[in-house]
Amino acid sequence: MIFFIKFFVSWSYKEYIIFILASTVQFYIGFDFYKSSINALKNKIADMNLLVVVGTSAAYFYSLFVLFFPQFFPETSRNTYFESAAAIITFILLGRYLETKARNKATSFMKSLLNLKPQKSIIIVDGKEIEVDADSIVEGDIVVLKKGDKVPVDGIVIEGSCEVNQSAITGEYMPVLKEKGQNVISGSLVQDGYCKIKALRNAKSSVLNQIIKTILEAQSKKPPIAKFADKVVYYFVPTIIIISILTFDIWYFFTENFQLSLIPSVSVLIIACPCALGLATPIAVVSLIGRSAKEGILIKNSDVVEIINNVKTVVFDKTGTLTKGKLKVSSFILENEGLKDYLYTLASKSNHPISKAMVEKFEGSVLEVENFENITGKGLRAVINREIVLNGSLRLMKENNVEIPKKYIEFYENETKKGKVVVFLAVNSKVVGVVSIEDEIREEANEVISKLKKEGYEILMITGDSKNTALEVAKKLGIDNVYFEVFPEDKLKIVENLQEEGKKVMFVGDGINDAPAMAKADVGLSMSSGADIAKETGDAVILSNNLKSILKFIKLSKEGNKIIKQNLFWAYFYNSIGIPVAAGILYPINGVLLKPVFASIAMSFSSVSVVLNALRLQVKRL
């Protein structure tokens, strides 16, 4: 409206109308600029708001004196710039609005997480279903889940079954069937079925809340490159004010025209507003963390954005990282099919991982058992169908003078050379069966290791397992550098030795016994099934429990680093070009001065371009 009145209306008192409208913009709409500047100056800080205040106030008060005291100005200097001051504030606020919208897009994942938190949930109290506030659920409560419900708390299924979509938490695309004894993660969506879960922790301590808290903390942290940019801005503002004053002095010295000197002086203040500098890193970090979270990667330390480019050595833990951390039966020999029931019956009475693997493989009929005994570290003994049955290690067989036919000894020797665990089944002092068990390698492990090697990464594997087991896994995955039979403190020393050689190290582990090494590494990456996120050590957590996420993590971090550097380059480049132009360096060539209003437009769009560049991370194909 001010522009319309200024240039298209011929009222006698239009300048006074413009003055009233511009005053409203300057001191009401633009009040926050003054307030922020005063607060910053109290803390001995000169920020971009001060540049806006000084620049617009100079244009406004100059116009004010011209309007009410024209006799003090020559006729050639009686132009007013109310519209420029108002436009500057308007365009800067418009730029901030666009920045806010862009930030909201970058943090849309956070909003989607918050939407996964239900307001109400149903729990069982004295056998009755009662609706309560979801946040009031405590450990031990029995929660009812039906189709369409949002899971309010981490729990374990105690009755029924349901199909849940946990893609927002782990990145898994397909729904997962949860049955009795299986864990359910808060934030999951029940797509079908009915079940009851027992809360494993309070709702406020759930995985979903831990993830939200961790993302907020990560977004508030600044990598070293961002801290450097902050220091630049700290000194940048007073430097620009000095340049603006010098610009005015030089112009006035040569022209003795106050109005002509004021234009470039104000333009320098406006075009140099360090919005782009201030936004260059924060918006890129926010965008990176939001996109990573969508991919099932929880970045806890934003420093990795800067470090990742220098990492060329990746150290993997074996158990639970390169392998599934879950034993399975790989092969077996039994004298007859009926012996499967013997194995299943004995294994079903033990919680040992080996027994669980056999229960899964040999599911059958549970036979009547007498005198069951769990012999720690060796195996199981019982009486079944009046026969003495042993199921366990070679040591257990020898201690009980059990006869072992040659074919079983050969099987044992061949399988143990491959790093597998072998257990025997003996009935009445004679071995009648043998079972080989292994920790299954993740399906995606070969592909991930291969791609990392092609990209020039040095790959190492560390494990507490035996030499044979370690070498067999390493052979299958094409890993040449292997450390075996090591303790957690040994893993730490290995990482320290690599760093002493000048290498930047990424350690990938399960976040429990690998904690010391992971904390020492330049980048610590923890594999997680979604439980105890807050306790995980490391700079980032892979929630999807899929090794391919490591490749995504590296790509996203490198891209985030690239975007930060691009943003800083363009912000510095923009100012190095814009400030001289605003100061009037082109005036001797073409007689054109950059008016403050156009300087404000250029400044606003420079900030928006930085934001849009950062948002590329949200749509980048991996």
Q: What CATH topology corresponds to 312-521?
A: Calcium-transporting ATPase, cytoplasmic domain N (3.40.1110)
User: What is the distance between the alpha carbons of residues 461 and 444, in angstroms, rounded to a whole number?
Assistant: 16
Q: Is the pLDDT score of 316 beyond 90?
A: yes
Percent of residues, the chain, with pLDDT higher than 90: 25
pLDDT band at 531 (very low <50, low <70, confident <90, very high): very low
Distances in Å between the Cα of 296 and the Cα atoms of 129, 271, 326 are: 34, 40, 22
Report angle CA 444, 417, 470 to the nearest 5 degrees. 45
Identify the pLDDT of residue 488.
65
From the list 303, 317, 439, 514, the catalytic residue is 317
User: What is the distance between the alpha carbons of residues 437 and 117, in angstroms, rounded to a whole number?
Assistant: 41
Span 89-117, pLDDT tens digits: 877 777 667 656 655 655 555 566 667 77
Widest CA span of the chain, in angstroms? 122
For residue 297, give the nearest of 106, 506, 533, 107 by alpha carbon: 533
- The residue ranges of DSSP E strands in 150-223, in sequence order, are 155-165, 176-178, 183-184, 189-199
Q: Indicate the domain borders of the chain.
A: 138-201, 312-521
Cα-trace Rg, the chain: 35
pLDDT band at 308 (very low <50, low <70, confident <90, very high): confident
For residues 166 and 150, the answer to whether their CB atoms sit within 8 Å is: no
User: What is the distance between the alpha carbons of residues 428 and 434, in angstroms, rounded to a whole number?
Assistant: 15
Distances in Å between the Cα of 567 and the Cα atoms of 285, 421, 535, 579, 618 are: 12, 55, 34, 18, 16
User: What is the distance between the alpha carbons of residues 247 and 259, in angstroms, rounded to a whole number?
Assistant: 13
Span 567-616, pLDDT tens digits: 888 877 877 888 888 888 877 766 667 776 677 677 667 777 877 888 88
Report the phi/psi class of residue 50: left, alpha or beta, with left for phi > 0 and alpha for psi in -120 to 50. Answer: alpha
Element (H, E) at 146: strand 142-146
Structure tokens at 549: 């996420």
Report angle CA 312, 317, 320 to the nearest 5 degrees. 135
Residue type, 325: G
pLDDT band at 173 (very low <50, low <70, confident <90, very high): very low
pLDDT band at 535 (very low <50, low <70, confident <90, very high): very low
Q: Can you tell me which residue has the tokens 């500057």? A: 88
DSSP assignment letter at 112 = H
Q: Can you tell me which residue has the tokens 């109005």? A: 259
Q: In sequence order, what DSSP letters do the residues of 304-319 get, joined into one string?
A: HHHHGGG--EEEEEII
Element (H, E) at 118: none
Point out the least confidently predicted range of 31-45, 66-80, 127-141: 66-80
Identify the pLDDT of residue 533.
47
Q: Can you tell me which residue has the tokens 């006729």? A: 75
What number does CATH give the domain 138-201?
2.70.150.10
Report which listed range, 247-261, 390-404, 582-596, is most confident: 390-404
Q: Taken in order 148, 149, 155, 157, is the CA torsion positive or negative?
A: negative
Name the strands in the sheet holding 297-299, side by side, starting at the edge strand that comes first in the sequence.
297-299, 540-542, 523-527, 505-509, 313-317, 458-462, 481-483
Q: In sequence order, what DSSP letters do the residues of 476-529 get, joined into one string?
A: HHT--EEE-S--HHHHHHHHHHHHHTT--EEEEE-SSTTHHHHHHSSEEEEE-S
Size of the chain, expressed as the number of residues it contains = 622
pTM: 0.65
Q: Is the pLDDT score of 39 beyond 80?
A: yes
Residue type, 327: L
pLDDT band at 219 (very low <50, low <70, confident <90, very high): low
Q: What residues contact 166, with CB distance under 8 A and at least 6 apart?
A: 172, 176, 185, 187, 188, 189, 530
Q: Give yes or no: 32 in active site.
A: no
pLDDT band at 49 (very low <50, low <70, confident <90, very high): confident
Structure tokens at 111: 């909003």
User: What is the distance between the alpha carbons of residues 516 and 506, in angstroms, rounded to a whole number?
Assistant: 13
For residue 140, give the nearest of 159, 121, 154 by alpha carbon: 154
* Phi, psi of 194, rounded to the nearest 5 degrees: -145, 135
